[in-house]
């Protein structure tokens, strides 16, 4: 029995090393991309260029952290882009009504509350009503877009309508470090620590690995899935406020289609689409890689079409690698079990 347990732990340790290698490969690919682009155009690593990359990555990485929580449980949230657009416009309209009396904290609470409400709706339908996540979030994607257009009524929010402190949050920083990356890193570290160090955090991985086994083990599967969607929606709400702070001008339909980029960042970052595997750190690296690719193509004067093509190719490659690694680990576990009399 001890030998069997030791063999299982060894196999899991090896599997962990394999998936961590995915994150290291992202770092290597990112370094190679930056090196090649800098050789062709040395201005790529200018101070403003690097700052723009990190600012643009921050919102995508923040959404990827929330999406990771959902995907780990073997689900998906396609509504995050619509939530960002709705929150950005609704918060802008809320602040424009009284720019002097409504500060940043009020805006953040307002935006996060809207996002959390959207996430709660998704979570209730998926976890308790047992409607497939793809169907639910695809439906709420269009519903939220409709609400966004209804709220907007063809209007536009401009930077001059917003409190200067909010715009300062989106474009300034401390000691040369912008606020947006600091917020994203703080959230990422907190979520990563929770998933790794707390029993309830590990339960999300157990649900993704085998929902039936997790249920038999006494894990509150429905509540955990509900929380994952609630958290993803809240982060999408936060991202919507930060989007408003970053760009200042928003219209109805802002961030439309952004959910596909978020899912791509998560999967490219090593989070298995079938659940149970991955980290928020890998998802953030995936977001950084995709953003850097977009910036590099602009610097190299390559058509934006190729950014979409490369993103799609990376997504297909990541899914293929995940499948091959899963098969490899399964074979390894069978051999170890047979060797130790399992």
Q: Flag whether pLDDT at 302 surpasses 80.
A: no
Residue 16 pLDDT level (bands cut at 50, 70, 90): low
Q: Mean pLDDT in the chain?
A: 86
Chain-centroid distance, C-alpha 265: 7
3-state secondary structure of 178: strand
- pLDDT value for 340: 63
Residue 131 pLDDT level (bands cut at 50, 70, 90): very high
d(CA 250, CA 244): 7
Chain-centroid distance, C-alpha 110: 21
- pLDDT value for 330: 65
Output the pTM of the full model. Answer: 0.88
**Topology of the domain covering 2-339:** ABC transporter involved in vitamin B12 uptake, BtuC (1.10.3470)
Average the pLDDT over each of 47-51, 110-114, 116-120 and give the range with the smallest value. Answer: 47-51
Percent of the chain whose pLDDT exceeds 90:
48
DSSP assignments along 90-122, one per residue: HHHHHHHTSTTT--HHHHHHHHHHHHHHHHHHH
Taking the domains of the chain in order of start, what are their residue ranges?
A: 2-339
Residue 218 pLDDT level (bands cut at 50, 70, 90): very high
- pLDDT value for 329: 64
Do 243 and 86 meet the contact criterion of CB atoms below 8 Å apart? no
Highest mean pLDDT among 23-27, 206-210, 230-234: 230-234
**Residue that wins the pLDDT comparison between 67 and 337:** 67
Q: Mean pLDDT, to the nearest integer, of 242-250?
A: 92
Residue 9 pLDDT level (bands cut at 50, 70, 90): very low
Do 61 and 271 meet the contact criterion of CB atoms below 8 Å apart? no
- pLDDT value for 7: 41
d(CA 16, CA 225): 24
Q: Identify the sign of the CA torsion 160, 162, 66, 128.
A: negative
- pLDDT value for 341: 58
d(CA 299, CA 229): 37
Give the pLDDT confidence of 310-342 residue by residue, as tens digits.
Answer: 777 877 877 777 677 666 766 766 776 677 655
Name the residue among 292, 266, 274, 238 with its Cα closest to residue 88: 238
């Amino acid at each position: 029995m001890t030998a069997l347990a030791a063999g299982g732990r060894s196999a899991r340790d090896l599997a962990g090393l394999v998936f961590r290698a995915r994150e290291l490969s992202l770092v290597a690919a990112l370094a190679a991309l930056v090196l090649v682009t800098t050789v062709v155009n040395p201005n790529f690593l200018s101070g403003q260029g690097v700052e723009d990359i990190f600012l643009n990555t921050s919102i995508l990485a923040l959404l990827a952290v929330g999406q990771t929580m959902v995907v780990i449980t073997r689900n998906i949230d396609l509504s995050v882009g619509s939530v960002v657009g709705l929150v950005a416009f609704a918060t802008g309209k809320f602040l424009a009504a009284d720019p002097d009396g409504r500060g940043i904290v009020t805006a953040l609470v307002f935006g996060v509350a809207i996002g959390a409400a959207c996430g709660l709706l998704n979570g209730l339908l998926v976890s308790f009503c047992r409607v497939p996540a793809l169907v639910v979030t695809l439906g709420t994607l269009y519903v939220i877009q409709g609400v966004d257009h209804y709220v907007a009524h063809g209007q536009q929010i401009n930077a001059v309508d917003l409190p200067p402190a909010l715009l300062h949050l989106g474009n300034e920083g401390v000691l040369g470090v912008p606020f947006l990356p600091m917020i994203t890193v703080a959230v990422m570290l907190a979520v990563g620590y929770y998933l790794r160090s707390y029993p309830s955090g590990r339960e999300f991985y157990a649900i993704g690995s085998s929902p039936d086994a997790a249920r038999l083990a006494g894990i509150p599967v429905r509540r955990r899935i509900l929380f994952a969607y609630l958290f993803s929606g809240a982060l999408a709400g936060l991202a919507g406020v930060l989007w408003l702070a970053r760009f200042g001008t928003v219209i109805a339909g802002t961030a439309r289609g952004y959910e596909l980029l978020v899912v791509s960042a998560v999967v490219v970052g090593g989070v298995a689409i079938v659940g149970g595997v991955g980290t928020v750190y890998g998802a953030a690296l995936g977001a950084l890689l995709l953003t850097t690719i977009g910036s590099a193509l602009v610097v190299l004067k390559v058509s934006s079409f190729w950014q979409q093509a490369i993103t799609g190719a990376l997504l297909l490659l990541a899914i293929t690698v995940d499948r091959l690694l899963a098969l490899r680990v399964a074979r390894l576990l069978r051999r170890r079990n047979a060797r130790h009399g399992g």
